[in-house]
Amino acid sequence: QVQLVESGGGSVQPGGSLRLTCTVSGITDRPDVMGWYRQAPGKQREFVARITRAGSETYTDSVKGRFAISRHNAQNTVDLQMNSVKPEDTAVYYCYVVFRRDYWGRGTQVTVSS
């Protein structure tokens, strides 16, 4: 059974940093894609960042230069380093992987507030 578990969420002040980690279990090979989406209150879920098995990274415009995604194939984890966070980054962050189909985690709350 494939499971994705996010960790590292919490509250942070504007301008601060936070690191999210997603741990994947139940997959016998490296996922083709690992990434993050987020959903703010009253809004649709939106793409944040992804990284392919080859290491190619893609970001939504609003986080370019502030967020960095990385994957660790030996541990089957994917991280999202969030720097210079803004109040508009407040959302539930969901990890996802693509391995024959999409799999999703349950999400972790990130709140940016002074």
* pLDDT, average across residues 94-114: 96
What tokens were used for 104?
Answer: 């999703």
Condensed to tens digits (0 to 9), the pLDDT of residues 36-53 reads 999 999 999 999 999 999
Specify the pLDDT at position 28. Answer: 83
**67: which residues sit within 8 A by CB, 6+ positions away?**
48, 49, 59, 80, 81, 82, 83
